[in-house]
């Protein structure tokens, strides 16, 4: 009887190790994908915004105005993000907890 309990405990530990390995590998894989996608998106956004700022500046007759308009737009986004930071933080934390527990 003791041998059966020992074997059961050993198998249970092995199963838990495998489950943790699976969750860890999925998490690392997801994070790797997110980092690569974020870097590509960041380069796209930067280059797109430079082009858009120059285009707006061309239309206004002064490239500096176009760049300043784009900077003002991102300042507005920063202010809005700062205002709702707790909501964002809580939603991200909830998503991470759901992902880890699934």
Tens-place pLDDT, residues 39-85: 999 999 999 999 999 999 999 999 999 999 999 999 999 999 999 98
pLDDT(23) > 90: no
Q: What is the DSSP letter of 102?
A: -
CA separation for the pair 27, 31 (Å, rounded): 6
Averaged pLDDT score across all residues of the chain: 90
For residue 94, is pLDDT > 90? no
With tokens 């007759």, the residue in question is 61
- pLDDT at 26 (0 to 100): 85
């Amino acid at each position: 009887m003791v041998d059966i309990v020992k074997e059961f405990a050993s198998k249970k530990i092995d199963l838990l190790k495998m489950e943790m390995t699976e969750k860890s590998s999925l998490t690392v894989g997801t994070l790797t994908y997110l980092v690569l996608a974020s870097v590509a998106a960041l380069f796209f956004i930067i280059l797109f915004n430079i082009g858009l700022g120059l285009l707006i500046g061309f239309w206004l007759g002064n490239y500096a105005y176009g760049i300043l308009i784009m900077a003002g737009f991102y300042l507005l986004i920063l202010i809005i993000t700062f205002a709702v930071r707790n909501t964002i933080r809580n939603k991200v934390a909830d998503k991470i907890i759901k992902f880890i527990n699934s």
